[in-house]
Amino acid sequence: MPKLYNFQRSGNCYKVRLMAALLGVDYERVDFDPPAGDHKKPDYLAINPMGQVPTWVEDDGTTICDSHAILVYLAKKYGNTDWLPDDPAGQAEVTRWLSFTAFEILSGIAFTRAIKIMGRPGDFDTQREMGLKAMSVLDGQLGRQPYLAANHVTIADIAAYPYVSLAGDAEIDINDYPNVAAWAARIEALSNFEPLNA
């Protein structure tokens, strides 16, 4: 059975848990406590030299690091082309929103949340402004179509959803962005949806 090296409060780890749940993939969860330094121990660094979570390890030893790389892997191994299109334009659109998630959403919402609730160093107001801008961009896109990269759910939505759904922790009200709120509700209505704390 595959293993997921996981930190329960991490939005990046949640992306992988959510994707696995939506695909019906069984796996063993290995929970870490990064504040205690679990992810920097030699045994784990041998698996993921970056000392980050999540990491996905298959029975055959295939090891995938980085939440977005794991989403790509799960979509290709266990899913279908709805999750990650085969055509160049479709793949490019998904990649565009994965990049947006990895910078604008991470910097603007995830980092703001970490400053607020985890004591991460940083300028709360500056990061929050980035988060507000990211939410406006998302709201515009989701006013044009029901999901970020297509007219159906893709890994781009699963990548973006966790930290967007936690925007309240960054003092950003999702209800100020009605298209984003409606999109989040669509994600939460998906069959096998798993909440953050499951």
107-149 pLDDT, tens digit per residue, is 999 999 989 888 788 889 999 999 999 999 999 999 999 999 9
Provide the pLDDT confidence category of residue 27 given band limits of 50, 70 and 90. Answer: very high
What pLDDT does 102 receive?
Answer: 96
Contacts of 121 (CB under 8 A, 6+ apart): 115
Average pLDDT over residues 78-101: 96
Instruction: Show the domains of the chain with their CATH numbers.
Output: 3-78 (3.40.30.10), 88-188 (1.20.1050.10)
The percentage of residues in the chain with a pLDDT greater than 70, rounded to a whole number, is 99
User: pTM of the full predicted structure?
Assistant: 0.94
Question: What does the alpha-carbon distance between residue 180 and residue 147 come to, in Å, rounded to a whole number?
Answer: 10
Overall average pLDDT of the 73-97 stretch: 96
**Banded model confidence at residue 84, pLDDT cuts 50, 70, 90:** very high
Q: Position of tokens 């703001």?
A: 112
**Residue 59, Cα to own-chain centre: how many angstroms?**
24
pLDDT greater than 80 at residue 198: no
Rounded Cα distance between 21 and 193, Å, is 7
Question: What distance in Å separates the CA atoms of residue 154 and residue 147, rounded to the nearest whole number?
Answer: 8
CA distance 38 to 33: 6
